[in-house]
Amino acid sequence: MTHGYEIDDLAKEDCWRMFRIIGELVEGFDKLAGIEPAVTIYGSARLNPEDELYAQTEEIAYCLGQIGFSIITGGGPGVMEAANKGALKAGVASVGLNIELPEEQRCNTYTTKAITFSHFFARKVMLVKYATAFVIMPGGLGTLDEVTEVLTLMQTHKIKPFPVILFHSNYWKGFLDWLRVSALARGFISEDDFKLLRVCDATNEVVEAIQMWYLKQEIGGREALLE
């Protein structure tokens, strides 16, 4: 049987947890204000620096930085490290939103703005809130979680329909085929949902897609982006 004081203790702990979550959000809003325009780059933390994809990620971030975009990542190794490295090289804000995990995640050394979160959902808010576009590099469960969350937010009109770019068509083919053959066939998603996605295989495709969309959609885009 649970005693009254134990219930009270749990309630108090939940209240203090709420304040800690608010604190994480406030810190994020405070540190990230003014970094727009920015692009969030998602992808595997397990990517080896010797992998071709690492160099491609770094190049994408660098090229986006060269035309005026800040870069936001989850702050860890792999794809995140490569993207932050490219942003740092380009001289733009290189944001790393790290998460406390028992293993695997560590903050990379290429960030100019870094925040460490205890709660995944507070971190997710920050990864989305300041982004003008999303580049999804190959990744695992975490990356799938992030891309489907972004698409759901757009599908339900909770955020604007910003570009969502899947990089490396061969990697994402099985996922897209499954969406069509299984989810779309049963009416769980609509054909219009696929309009939220673009698949690219080259750095210049990614950069051009984001730049052109931004200049068309944002009145201030021409001033914010370098020619």
- Whichever domain contains 127, its CATH number is 3.40.50.450
Q: And the tokens for 15?
A: 């209240």
Domain count within the chain: 1
Closest CA relative to residue 104, chosen from 47, 21, 41, 171:
47
| Interatomic CA distance for residues 64 and 137, integer angstroms | 15
User: Which residues span the domain enclosing 148?
Assistant: 4-224
Global pTM value: 0.86
| Interatomic CA distance for residues 87 and 93, integer angstroms | 7
Tens of each residue's pLDDT in the chain, 227 residues: 455 556 566 556 777 778 788 878 888 788 888 888 999 999 999 999 999 999 999 999 999 999 999 999 999 999 999 999 999 999 999 999 988 776 656 789 999 999 888 778 888 888 999 999 999 999 999 999 999 999 999 999 888 889 999 999 999 999 999 999 999 999 999 999 998 899 999 999 999 999 999 888 754 444 444 44
**Which residues, in sequence order, are bridge partners of residue 134?**
40, 164
| Interatomic CA distance for residues 89 and 20, integer angstroms | 34
| Interatomic CA distance for residues 69 and 160, integer angstroms | 18
Query: Are 81 and 105 within 8 A, CB to CB?
Result: no
